[in-house]
Structure 1
Amino acid sequence: MVATELAISALVASHAGVWIADADGRVRGVGRGEAIARAGDSPHLLLNAPVTASRLGLGELSGLDLLELFAFLCPARFCVPTPRGLAAALGLPEPAGDADAAFLQRAAGALLALAARKDWPERHGAWTILQSLARQRWAWAPHLLRLIAKPEKPERHVFQSLPQWEEAAPRPAPRVVTLPAGEVAAQLARLVGAGAEQRDGQRAYAAAVSAAFEPRQRGDGPHMVLAEAGTGIGKTLGYLAPASLWADMAGGAVWVATFTKALQRQLDSETARVWPDATERRAKVVVRKGRENYLCLLNLEDAVQGGFGGRAAVFARLAERWAEYSRDGDMVGGDLPGWLPALFGRMSFAGLTDRRGECIYAACPHYRSCFIERATRASAQADLVIANHALVMINAARGRAEGAGLNRIIFDEGHHLFDAADATFAVALTGREAVELKNWLLGPERAAGRGRRRGLSARLADAISYDDEAARAVERITEAARALPSEAWLQRVAADAGDGALEALFAAVRAQVLARAPPEDADGGYGLETQVAEVLPRLVEAAGDASAALGRMAGPMAQLEARLALLLDDPPDWLDGQGRARVEGARAGLVLRGALLGAWQQLLGRLGGPADADFIDWLELARADGRLLDVGVQRRWLDPMRPFAGAVLGQAHGVVVTSATLRARPDALADDWRDADARTGAAHLPVPPKHFAATSPFDYAAQARVLIVTDVKPRDIAALAHAYRALIEAAGGGTLGLFTAIARLRAVHARLADPLARAGLPLYAQHVDPIDTGTLVDIFRAEPGASLLGTDALRDGVDVPGESLRQVIMEGVPWPRRTVLHAARRLADGGNVFDDRVTMDRLAQAFGRLIRRADDRGHFVLLGPAVPSRLLGAFPAGVPIDRVTLDQAVAMVKAGINASGQPSGDMPSLGRSTSPGAT
């Protein structure tokens, strides 16, 4: 690629300082005031405008953002959104640090040179979309219009160029086969590769997992395998070997479910070992997520035809550009750059996805090109479907799994299975949920009278025009649905008022919660909750009225569903394929929402009646930064694995649940699987599961060291900030800092970011930087000198091997938060023992971020003067554990770890060493 410099001033702002490169390339450091004034007078080249604005203390900043240009010219390509990352993506020499503001000019020149090339791979569609971007006054349009010539042939619009899915015959049920042990071993050897090291633990793991693929012998339970495999065993290829072999021999599909999107991406890349040919792999492997993750083509069409304005309209055009080159239309964790929506604001992104209840299925003109429908149909023919825990559970509960159903399932990250089931089988009667129901029934209020209609009456206009009974049912539903919350409902509820039965209910819930909250909490900005006990008469009365209002909807909805069922059983001549699909979609939606109404009515009956021992109920106000976000009544199963076992495990023939931390503690006895059985649903099956455990092949005693710092006061922000700074500087960056509270994370970051940056150690933070979590991890992985602060989302599922992560710091013991839900489960499940189990699992997961491969080394630092010794069993056996002062910890981190596991140099072991498992 020929690179030229662009004669436009460039602006770089970081925690280390601010620099401007003038049009002639001369760079100088400036103050924030001058930078703001210069940027306000004329547009500058920027890299990630929201981040630059935050470094300058501004709410927003306009300019020529190189990331926007990259997204236009290189749609669906990966790029870490930093100068170094952009240099790698463009094949340019790395910039010389933050002060090299002229790099932005060189990068802009390289990108514009790409647009001038005849062999530019993503040329198709660029000229057409650029004309629209020019009308929207996109900053880069004038520069690109000089380079991108009008094509000789008219470019096909994205809605015409996307491939269309075809209907296929239903896949037959999988054949009954038995996997020969030798074939499983041979398949694993092929996947690992001829020159790779053969690992006994991995071979034993693959053999153990193979039991889940044996023919089912009884109808009341699957073959279930609980497989705990320490980090480094190679469990991904270990279960892909028997899974791919069974799929080929049986002609069936294996569903692999993860809890995090990061593992989904990793799994998707690993399948190249099974199916090296890219074309074959696209047919064999499908990545599935919930509908809200995918680009909705009808929403996109609305947006580009005038539904969006301002910056949102620019994002819509860039999304249109991306859609032509995207693998699957996945906007969350797929090939849409995670940093792109953040450049334009969250609402721009949300307006393009399929928000729950909006889809009109076959009535949509883009139905045959729909990314979601294409993925659904591809799943029915695939050998391997990579999904998430929630989607598998929802499909199983609704009986909607594609193909021959959920015959064989592998739950990776199985330690999260309980939490996923807890959320999936929950019931939430909240304002937001009620508004979504109203939107599905009547259509969004703001869309009334304009744009495409989505209400039930409009979607079924043709189907009910010949059926008076169905038409009357729709009229009754429409009238009853007016009791659901309407626009501005939150303001009315916050004023202790309500328009309709449901708003009156939420106002009564709010009043009850505030009446029982401590004064300091009631006036604060955080969420509040209270048990459903001794409910005030006002709430009981409001619950009765709300239940009656829901009942007036439920009756005609059931009647309409029955009429639609008759229509489908004996379809008239005028009901074509699209009409039938539309009716089927409406009927399925009525069944789903009818069940939801029933669950809501049961929950409302609890407000004035006796408790149900199977459930935990509470009232909740969701608040953030002083703003009321939602109000409602929540219900969870005391043991969510009961419905999980019935809905998911009961119908499967084979299930694998695997993780590095399935059992309560790594040093548990080999036969102590009681907790794992309970938290995976196996305890509810009549057939006992098979258990397998393989310890990690890593030499943790030589590779890692746990330091418990005893002289840092908990919750003391100044002390925490001092400790984090000293330890990060001692390690030279490469630190993952974990917090149990967002407020403390922000406070510590505010004290550290500038001094660390001036020392050449960039610091990034979740909940501070306007960057999505996945992109933050990408940046952290790509910059060995950087450090990253975060909360729960970074404690689990983050895979950063090598030099980029060599120290983990936790600001304290991650005890469970005291909530109504936690208190009920704690009471039912051992009290302090329950707390210890949850805490040890969190510690084990956090420690698991540190050592990801055989040559990793590092320190795990826990800031806490009183860490109970009983919790130390969370760490792998043999890891040295020292209780030390901060000064001693800093000295040990500076010394590093040598191959013997001791601090390098002459630094001795300090403090009192405690062996894991000590009491």
Structure 2
Amino acid sequence: MPPVPALVASPRAAVLVHPDGEVEEDTPAALGRRAAGLRPLVCHAPATAARLGRDALAGHDLLELFAFVRPARFVLPTVGGLAGAVGLEAPHGLTAQALALPRIAAVLLHALTRLVRQEQADARTLAFAMARGGWAWGPPVLAALGAHGDGPHGTTIARAFRVWERLPEISEHAPEAAPGHLPVTGAEARARLADLLGAAAEDRPQQADYASAAAAAFAPRERRDAPHVVLAEAGTGVGKTLGYIAPASLWAEKNDGPVWIATYTRNLQRQLDGELDRLYPDPREKARRVVIRKGRENYLCLLNLEEAVSRLPTQPAAAIPLGLMARWAMATRDGDLVGGDFPGWLVDILGRGWSLGLADRRGECIFAACPHYNRCYIERTVRRAKRARLVVANHALVLVQAALGGLEDGALPTRYVFDEGHHLFDAADGAFSAHLSGQETADLRRWLLGAEDGSRSRARGLKTRAEDLIGEDPRAAEALVEVLHGARVLPGPGWHARLAGETARGPTERFLALVRQQVLARARGQDGPYSLEAGVAPPLPELVEAAQALETALHDLERPVARLMKALARRLDDEAASLDPTTRQRIEGLIRSLERRALLPVRAWRSMCRALETETPPGYVDWLGIERAYGRDMDVGLHRHWVDPMVPFAETVAGRAHGVLVTSATLRDGSGDPEADWQAAERRTGAVHLPDHIRAAVPSPFDYPAQTRVLVVTDVRKDDMDRVAAAYRELVLASGGGALGLFTAIGRLRAVHQRIADALDAADLPLFAQHVDGIDPATLVEMFRTEENACLLGTDALRDGVDIPGRALRLIVFDRVPWPRPDILHKARRKAFGGRAYDEMVTRLRLKQAFGRLVRRADDHGAFVLLDPMMPSRLGGAFPDGVALERVGLAEAVAAVRAQG
């Protein structure tokens, strides 16, 4: 064990336990100063440093050791979480936690001695390199691994980091045949559900009714462009996940084809992954039948990893993060960096550049030209998905792929389940929008020209990717040269500074500079930290002229891109008999990339430029915006969205499918008019744009009037953050924790957190907060779930898709009515969808979703408190029948929460 003290801290106090047993307790700031330079044992160094009031803390972080010893294994980033993971009793109190840290470290170090021979050799080699790079755990890890001497030479070390060489190659398979068209009856769905639940399961007639209704989406299509669409609302507690898995899995088996199940949140993806263990209890069979499918930006790119490893000779300290990444890469199930088996807290410790930054985040994939193509995590997942029965994806991937004409092979699934269907409108809004912005255009320039800033990035541009594929065709070579020349009209490195300094160069930067000028001339709230926007009309005269010049320049880029694509397609045709499979794959991939990455966005940008001279086409809304984050300008541009994004959803996704199930616990509005509530669901899911659909609603089995109370506090001013924070504090103390605090703005969350942290710490109630703790939301939710008396503060991401049954969640406090933000896009939709009624529908659905977090089991009880005296009674339809709004003062609300226990 390293002879260093152990350090833990809370908002009010900190404890330092020295190796000789001496215990020091003081304020976090004081102990933070004393611990500087001691390299103490800690759990989650960034979070510990924040509690100590320091920017950083050099220490022996046990999470780093855990990631090395047990890669691709999740653990809660707390002392209690680590203790439980290694089989020790969870410590209580700061002193007990500090005393537990060396015991946890000892268990982890001992585990290294039990590694199999080859893994132990690889771990030893990596540890040597990491120790030379300054890794604090290097010496004790090497001692545990029985290392002696000066360590291996450079070639051996390099081989340990080259994990791609030890990954298995992807097996090729013949193309899959089209699926059959056999139906799934309601009776069959009920029988499959019974098998999934087992003989000992409780009788749940609502779940069986739901499964039977969902089966209608798996009937054979009778007419082209007329899919079977089922809108199914299943109240909380019905068990809709297994309810739709039953008919979906049965259809996939009967017809030997895939069903794509799309969710909006990663939390539900993880839940689905777990539920599918019932269907496929054998992990090997499940791996064949079920695939979790995400966009390329979620997976570790082996070429990016190789490029990072190549810098080790000149950056020895990089061996620390790369060693941990190498350990994970050899243990991961599928290379998923976001929501898979990659611990979210490791991003906090390594930094985004050494973790998420190793994914393909700029569309730079070179597909078959990559030397790691046949070992690539992404390609492996793509190919497995073609043979899977159930593909679990997210809304964004499904919609973007459909908008671009299909999946990687151009095909489209025929059967979809869209869970969390209340988010389908928002997902479509993002997928079918266009942005003529600095970031988007600069990214395209980088994709075409490669890195121009002198960095050693592997992004060497289109020339490197295409020049050996165009063959001897002079027309293709000429088109490539013109594409590279045309790309220079897009913003180059340093465009941010030039726009701010009014030294724009080139047609795109000049256009963006004038966009910025118009926004700053007309937008409200310019002194605040939030993003700004302004209408397009009437545009500055100079902006119209700049748009005309930019449209011409983009046209000069579009033409050679199209010619290059035709030339590549011509080679596929001309040399069909002689092209080797790899070259054919590369050409097909490049054509697809040129269309998706260059041709389609450039055409959209040209249309947007032309509209500045005339007017925005019907069905769209345009606006100008400056995107800000943390008070800094991050992007500027012209934006275009559909007023109703379910129009393209119906045309490109649902209309081409054979069957679509859209399901949620909150599909319908709660206006009080049943027909109007269903019509709202039909608009939000796109069913109104399809020939026919089936409505189904299965009520929750819970007794909400007996299990819940909804309290509207009438004597707290929502704009006085001192009063709002005091209300949160007293309500949480009254409940004894188990509280989820929801906020409509990050600034309000941070203000409340700052004011209540000490009081909750004094009451021994753990406090976690999104946008404060620097920990990803999924991990925060897991921490909250395991601490029965904790409090979690969050925004939209925690309002949906969070499933926390039992006493861990017994109180929800919402800071104010979550009215939609009155921006330009919302104004256009409000006008199109019913004015005030549209505002109220959106707000009721948000309240409905938030309330739905409260009761997840039949024995759950809890209170939903809204700190907004202006809450209109007509929004009460957000809550279940029989649950009345109780308007009370804060003291009465505190008493009610305390009484419920």
- Class of the TM-score when normalised by the shorter of the 2 chains: over 0.9
Corresponding residue for 1:693? Answer: 697
Choose 569-578 or 251-260, whichever is displaced more: 569-578
Q: Where does 1:481-520 land on structure 2 (aligned, <5 Å)?
A: 481-518=487-524
Residue identity in the other structure for 1:498: A
Shift of 1:53: 0.7
User: Match of 1:356?
Assistant: 362
* 1:216 and 2:221 correspond: yes
- How much does 1:431 deviate? 0.6
For residues 546-571 of structure 1, give each alpha carbon's deviation from its aligned partner in whole angstroms, at most 9, with x where no partner exists.
11111111010000000000111232
- Give the drift of 1:439: 1.3
Q: Secondary structure at the match of 2:498?
A: helix
TM-score by length of 1: 0.94
Q: 1:424 aligns with which of 402, 418, 431?
A: 431
Aligned residues, how many?
889
Match in the other structure for 1:93? 89
SS of structure 1 residue aligned to 2:144? coil
Structure-2 separation of matches of 1:712 and 1:338: 37
Question: What's 1:142 paired with?
Answer: 139
Structure 2 residue aligned with 1:437: 444
Aligned twin of 1:161: 166
1:385/1:595 Cα in 2 relative to 1: closer, same or farther (>3 Å)? Answer: same
SS at match of 1:88: helix
Conserved 8 A contact 1:228-1:662: yes
Residue 70 of structure 2 corresponds to residue 74 of structure 1: yes
Structure 1 range deviating more: 793-802 or 876-885:
876-885
Alpha carbons of 1:803 and 1:666: their partners in 2 closer, same or farther (altered >3 Å)? farther
- Note the 1:369-384 alignment, pairs <5 A: 369-384=375-390
Write out per-residue CA displacement over residues 51-103 of structure 1, whole angstroms, 9 at most, x where no aligned residue: 01110111111111000000010001110111111111111111122232111
Map of 1:196-215 to 2, 5 A cutoff? 196-215=201-220
- Alpha-carbon distance in structure 2 between the residues aligned to 1:574 and 1:39: 69
User: Does residue 1:21 correspond to 2:17, yes or no?
Assistant: yes
Q: Which amino acid aligns with 2:536?
A: V
Cα distance in structure 2, aligned partners of 1:472 and 1:466:
11
Q: Deviations over 1:883-913 (max 9, x none)?
A: 111000111111116xxxxxxxxxxxxxxxx
> Percent same amino acid among aligned pairs?
51
Q: Deviations over 1:662-711 (max 9, x none)?
A: 0112855278521111111111112x100100110011111111111100
Contact residue 185 and residue 216 of structure 2 kept, 8 A: no
Instruction: Measure, in 2, the Cα distance between the counterparts of 1:89 and 1:124.
Output: 24
Deviates more, 1:568-577 or 1:651-660: 568-577
Aligned to 1:245: 250
Partner of 1:907: none
Cα deviations by residue, 1:611-647 (Å, 9 ceiling, x for unpaired): 3221000000011232110000000001101100000
| Structure 1 residues 889 and 373: CA distance shift in structure 2, 3 A | same
**More divergent stretch after superposition (490-499 vs 283-292):** 490-499
Residue number in structure 2 paired with 1:254:
259
Equivalent pair of 1:50/1:60 in contact (CA under 8 Å): yes
Equivalent pair of 2:671/2:677 in contact (CA under 8 Å): no
Letter in 2 for 1:644: F
CA distance in 1, matches of 2:315, 2:91: 36
Distance 1:310 1:700, change over 3 A: farther
Query: CA separation in 1, counterparts of 2:566 and 2:878?
Result: 55
Given residue 23 of structure 2, which amino acid in structure 1 is its aligned partner?
A: V
Match of 1:467 among 473, 494, 497: 473
Q: Among 631, 639, 647, which residue is 2:636 paired with?
A: 631
Partner of 2:537: 533
Letter in 2 for 1:314: I
Is this contact kept in 2: 1:709–1:885, CA < 8 A? Answer: yes
Cα distance in 1 for residues equivalent to 2:620 and 2:561: 27
Distance 1:149 1:94, change over 3 A: same
Comparing 433-442 and 450-459, the one that deviates more: 450-459
Q: 2:870 aligns with which of 856, 866, 879?
A: 866
User: Does the 8 A contact of 1:496 with 1:508 survive in 2?
Assistant: no
Alignment of 1:507-586 (within 5 A): 507-518=513-524, 521-571=525-575, 575-586=579-590
Q: Which SS does the other structure have where 2:865 is aligned? A: strand
Q: Equivalent residue for 1:913?
A: none
Distance of aligned partners of 1:126 and 1:343 in 2 relative to their CA distance in 1, 3 Å threshold: same
Distance 2:576 2:187 in 1: 56
- Aligned counterparts of 2:121 and 2:557: Cα–Cα separation in 1: 50
Distance 1:108 1:207, change over 3 A: same
Counterpart among 331, 341, 352 of residue 325 in structure 1: 331
Does the 8 Å contact 2:186/2:216 carry over to 1? no
Residues 1:292 and 2:297 aligned together: yes
Q: Residue type matched to 1:848 in 2? A: G
Determine if contact 1:284/1:382 at 8 Å carries over to the other structure.
Answer: yes
Aligned Cα root-mean-square deviation (Å): 2.0
- Say if 1:666 and 1:47 are closer, same or farther in 2 by CA, change over 3 A: farther
CA contact (8 A) 1:7 1:105 kept: no
Change in Cα spacing, 1:189 to 1:145, as seen in structure 2 (3 Å) is same
1:58 aligns with 2:54: yes
Aligned equivalent of 1:716: 720
Matching residue's letter, 2:452? E
Q: Unmatched 5+ residue regions in structure 1?
A: 898-919
Does residue 32 of structure 1 match 2:38? no
Q: Does 1:601 align with 2:598?
A: no
Residue among 124, 130, 135 paired with 1:127: 124
Deviations 1:116-145 (A, max 9, x none): 235699646312221221221111111111
Tell me what 2:114 maps to: 117
C-alpha distance in structure 2 between counterparts of 1:815 and 1:311, whole Å: 49
Contiguous gaps of at least 5 residues in structure 2: none
- Measured after TM superposition, the shift of residue 211 of structure 1 is 0.6
How far, CA to CA, are the matches of 2:104 and 2:453 in structure 1?
Answer: 43
Shift of 1:402: 6.2
Kept in 2, the 8 Å contact 1:222–1:649? The answer is: yes
* Distance across 1 between alignment mates of 2:412 and 2:342: 30
Q: Which residue of 1 aligns with 2:352?
A: 346
- The 3-state SS of whatever aligns with 2:797 is helix
SS, match of residue 837 in structure 1:
helix
Q: Name the CA shift for 1:99/1:670 in 2 (closer, same or farther; >3 Å).
A: farther
Q: Distance in 1 between matches of 2:656 and 2:118?
A: 47
Distance 1:666 1:696, change over 3 A: farther
Structure 2 residue matching 1:464: 3-state secondary structure: coil
1:214-239 residue CA offsets vs partner (Å, 9 max, x unmatched):
11011121000000000000100000
Residue 367 of structure 1 aligns with an amino acid whose one-letter code is: Y
Instruction: Give a deviation string over 1:780-814, Cα, whole Å, max 9, x none.
Output: 11111110111111111111111111100000101
* Partner in structure 1 of residue 418 of structure 2: 411
1:8 pairs with 2:15: no
TM-score normalised by the chain length of structure 2: 0.96
2:310 is paired with a residue whose SS is helix
Q: Which residue is equivalent to 2:308?
A: 303
**Per-residue deviation, 1:407:** 0.7
Identify which range, 493-502 or 141-150, moves more after superposition: 141-150
How many Å separate the matches in 2 of 1:829 and 1:468? 54
CA contact 2:608–2:640 (8 Å) conserved in 1: yes
* 1:118 to 1:291, Cα distance in 2 relative to 1, 3 A: closer
SS of the counterpart of 2:802?
Answer: coil
- Residue 529 of structure 1 aligns to a residue in which SS? strand
**Does the C-alpha gap of structure 1 residues 118 and 834 become closer, same or farther in structure 2, counting only changes over 3 Å?**
closer
Mapping for residues 493-892 of structure 1, pairs under 5 Å: 493-518=499-524, 521-571=525-575, 575-592=579-596, 593-665=598-670, 668-669=673-674, 672-686=677-691, 688-892=692-896
Contact between 1:667 and 1:876, CA under 8 Å: does it hold in 2?
no
1:867, CA displacement in angstroms?
1.1
SS of the aligned residue for 1:24 comes to: coil
The answer as to whether partners of 2:709 and 2:862 remain within 8 angstroms in 1 is: yes
Secondary structure class of the residue paired with 1:328:
coil
> Are 1:173 and 2:170 counterparts?
no
In structure 2, the residue matched to 1:902 is none
Which residue does the alignment assign to 2:285?
280
